[in-house]
Amino acid sequence: MDNLPRFIFYASGILMISAAFTLISSEFLSMISNPSYVGLLVLLGFGLVYMNLVFLSGRRFMRRLQGPNPAPYVFALLVAVAPLVWVQIYDAGLGDSRLTFMFTVIVACGSGAFFGHRAGLKAQAKFQENLKEYLNQDEKTPDDLKRSHDNLNKN
């Protein structure tokens, strides 16, 4: 893999951010078992945060690659590991909502990877187009600007 150092940097960063968010927000996990709309909103909030982590990192990583790559799906696994393990080892007060939370995290990370992959492919095309335009820009510069220092006086 040509981008192995970059991939390791992104993967370790994603894992750390996901773990940090899980640890910081673990006190709010008990609100998910609230039977009113508050529980649903907190659950959706967790799902949106994890989905956006995967989406943004997948899109950004794929921008400089050539063609499709499974990196967003690996990022989704890394993002999902921290909250799923945390819910299993820490009694967060979820009660019967544990499976609901786990399902929400898995679906959110999966959809973030899917949409991040698609957005990454679009960003690749845009990046390559901008790169070609930048590289061809040298051909479009006037002759007076290419070597303007040649016309300087030798005094």
Residue pLDDT, tens place only, 84-108: 998 888 877 777 888 888 999 999 9
- Report the sign of the C-alpha dihedral through residues 87, 89, 91, 92, in that order: negative
Residue pLDDT, tens place only, 45-72: 999 999 999 999 999 998 888 888 899 9
Q: What is the mean pLDDT of residues 24-38?
A: 86
Residue pLDDT, tens place only, 114-134: 999 999 999 988 988 888 888
- The token pair at 36 is 């009113």
Q: pLDDT above 90 covers what percent of the chain?
A: 45
Q: What is the model's pLDDT at position 132?
A: 87
Q: What is the model's pLDDT at position 147?
A: 63
Distance CA 18, CA 155 (A): 63
Non-local CB neighbours of 14 within 8 Å, separated by 6+ positions: 53, 54, 57, 75, 78, 79
137 pLDDT more than 80: no
- The token pair at 93 is 């007060």
Q: In whole angstroms, how far apart are CA 55 and each of 21, 36, 85, 92, 132?
A: 16, 29, 21, 26, 26
pLDDT grade for 17, boundaries at 50, 70 and 90: very high
Q: What is the model's pLDDT at position 138?
A: 63
Contact 117, 76 (CB under 8 A): no
Distance CA 53, CA 36 (A): 27
